Amino acid sequence: MINLEREVRTAIRTGKVVIGAKKTLKLVRFGKAKLVILASNAPEAYRDDIIRYAKLSGIPVYTYPGNSWDLGAMCGKPFMVSALSIIDPGESNIMALVETPEEEE
């Protein structure tokens, strides 16, 4: 099992990560994201659209078990983050989230 917090912080530091539901939705529509991470309490309208377009584009979506505040803190931001998209994982191993089956904690 990978350390999600460490991998997200590494991706933010060394790769290209876009934070925010609106920006993530735009990237997913154009198929530019490699992975989408959604908070468990992401707004339903954005969640449904992001998941629908991600399926059409073949982009994996990972639902983070914590809420938006937790996801924001994990990204090192002092605000809520309901969605983020990984464009370039950089030196992180974040793509292992979608390559291995999810384990329940």
CATH number of the domain where residue 14 is located: 3.30.1330.30
Full domain range(s) for residue 25: 4-99
Query: Residue 104 domain-assigned?
Result: no
Q: What pLDDT, on a 0 to 100 scale, did the predictor assign at position 15? A: 93
> pLDDT tens for residues 19-44?
999 999 999 999 999 999 999 999 99
pLDDT mean over 72-93: 93
Dihedral pair phi/psi, residue 17, rounded to 5°:
-125, 135
Query: Residue 84 domain-assigned?
Result: yes
Q: What pLDDT, on a 0 to 100 scale, did the predictor assign at position 1? A: 66
The span from the CA of 97 to the CA of 61, in Å, is 10
Query: Residue 80 domain-assigned?
Result: yes
The total number of structural domains in the chain stands at 1
Query: Residue 74 domain-assigned?
Result: yes
The span from the CA of 76 to the CA of 78, in Å, is 7
Among 14-18, 19-23, 101-105, the least confident range:
101-105
